[in-house]
Chains A and B, each alone.
Chain A
């Protein structure tokens, strides 16, 4: 940061006249990208691939909005840092949490087909119906996925 009270170079740059045509160009680009992402979705690419393409297009669109409509292209400095930092920590939270779900003991993930296969052998003490004592009255028993019902 430059000395606090002196308008920085970025501010000087920000105050010079920006042609309105720039906004229109960005707008057209955003519309075009929207059309492309819809078309790509119609093409039914592979499961993961479609997601990646859609997110890449969304990130491109988001960057256009942030850079030109929100003037990060002209301002920068601390403002850019703030945005980048917040996105960084968001990715961190998302990344490590997903890593956890992907790598934990498989039965510790919420019921999926894998869990359903792991119903306990022998007498069933684990079904919620048997000891109705603690079942919360506000929720129905976990019908969608109770392991023992899949035997």
Chain B
């Protein structure tokens, strides 16, 4: 049975739509701008990251159109170089890193652990404004010329280019602070605000993964911060810390940069795994096969993820010994992902599997994660990386993880929790159509890029020899499908906000903890009574309790 005590009065009436909810509890723009409600902050992040995603997607489409022909197509080399830089910076710092933790983590993490807010609500609001400030500074840089360094900001190119690299660096630095603040908040929340009865081994797997993400955010982001500051100082003032002419070492920059940016990959994929763990349990109507293995593999990824940054430096001039050390350590991080994949699959065994849109995304996710993840292992196999490093193979690999992994999970989360967040359901038919479009378009876009990488086409190429032409055309065609898919989703979700069918508190009949409250949740999450947790999440073995019980009567704090 769900996390409410067995003593629910049978007469409890659960409304289909909670009229007085967090959305209309206080009215007016000002109440939104000054809100400390974690749910409203999640919704604000949903709006902001969607704008960022649209902008980044626009740049992606322009890049693909430019690559439609071997020579110049629609823009100059200078514009193209700015485009892929902005595409990378926006998608990573403004969308990928904040998206799932800041939208769904903010919204559901406190609800899942029975808290009425995150530990530091005002800090949480501050993170939104820091995000806006960072985006603003980066936008200033974009409008005043943009930067043409790629999102990796490799020195000495980034310190000698004539473009506006300093504002972009500062923007990314500020966005990092926003990420740190969120991470600190989540860790403190999980440590101190779990409701009575909710021990660590009863935490939903979503919470475990987000917690692991927060650890990486807190420990890795400061190193990126200082690295970007050093580049900015050198570009702006000529202090020469990475300048070879003054004895600086560009490879040191790469070490510092990837010490953040490799774990950052896990900042992006761990929340996706968080979502998938919830989705698979709900739609298979099963408890997670190997709860502890999945929970601890999240921490394992967070920990081992810090040991592998050097596999981005195999061809950079790093020592052979270091290449060996990083090569072997990189193999271990794949294991934790393998554990998760096997356990998710095994969860379906003897389940009761319902094929809904979130589950369609789960299927896509599973395939893409295995393929993308194993090509990552292939890339970490030292001698193979020599050929693939900085080619389209790498581009295809990380898009398989980022788009095929994170965005699939993001869309799964969006569909899965849409009824809880807004009280209305999306149209299932359109949901499946767009899911199929996106999965097909995704394959058509990125599988040719694997082959291009094998052929040897380096990344960040404005023009290319004619033998790369046919595969580039295929890739561009696929990206068009992808764009259509996203467009359809945006439209039907917006329509469903007003016209969708009322969802009720638990449309999926899930035993996840977030479904015990009303849809949309009240401003204080649970109404007058505090929830008490008895069972593990997704415990489907008890007799069906009928409609989801309202939170039970308050139990005095005891354990």
Contacts and interface: CB of A to CB of B under 8 A. Distances in A.
B319 A89 contact: no
B245 A85 contact: no
Contacts of A108: 251, 317
User: Interface extent on B, as a size class?
Assistant: 35 or more
B219 interface: yes
Contacts of B322: 96, 99-100, 103-104
A109 B244 contact: no
B245 A3 contact: no
Nearest to B306: A89
Residue among A3, A4, A136 with max Cβ neighbours from chain B (10 Å):
A4
B470 interface: no
Contacts of B198: 4
Given A86-B219, A89-B219, A140-B245, A5 B318 contact: no
B160 A138 contact: yes
A87 to B, nearest CB: 11
B196 A103 contact: no
A133 to B, nearest CB: 14
A101 B254 CA distance: 13
Interface residues of A, number: 33
Contacts of A109: 249
A110 B248 contact: yes
B144 interface: no
Contact of A103 (B192, B246, B249, B319): B319
Nearest to B322: A100
Given A111-B247, A142-B244, A104 B194 contact: no
A136 B559 contact: no
Given A96-B325, A103-B322, A5 B196 contact: yes
Contact of A100 (B160, B199, B318): B318
A141 B194 CA distance: 60
Residue among B247, B248, B326 with max Cβ neighbours from chain A (10 Å):
B247
B307 interface: yes
Interface string B46-81: 000000000000000000000000000000000000
B252 A78 contact: no
Contacts of A86: 219
Interface in B290-308: 306-307
Nearest to B198: A4
Contacts of B199: 3
Contacts of A93: 223, 255-256, 259
Given A97-B252, A105-B317, A92 B307 contact: yes
B104 to A, nearest CB: 22
Contacts of A111: 247
Contacts of B319: 99-105
A66 B72 CA distance: 60
B547 interface: no
A3 to B, nearest CB: 4
Interface string A135-151: 01011111111000000
A61 to B, nearest CB: 23
Given A100-B322, A101-B249, A139-B243, 6 more contacts: A4-B193, A5-B196, A100-B310, A108-B251, A136-B156, A140-B245
12 contacts: A3-B194, A4-B194, A4-B198, A93-B223, A97-B252, A104-B318, A105-B317, A105-B319, A108-B251, A142-B244, A144-B245, A144-B246
Interface of B: 156, 160, 191-196, 198-200, 215, 219, 223, 238, 243-249, 251-252, 255-256, 259, 306-307, 310, 317-322, 325-326, 557, 559
Interface of A: 1, 3-6, 78, 85-86, 89, 92-93, 96-97, 99-105, 108-111, 136, 138-145
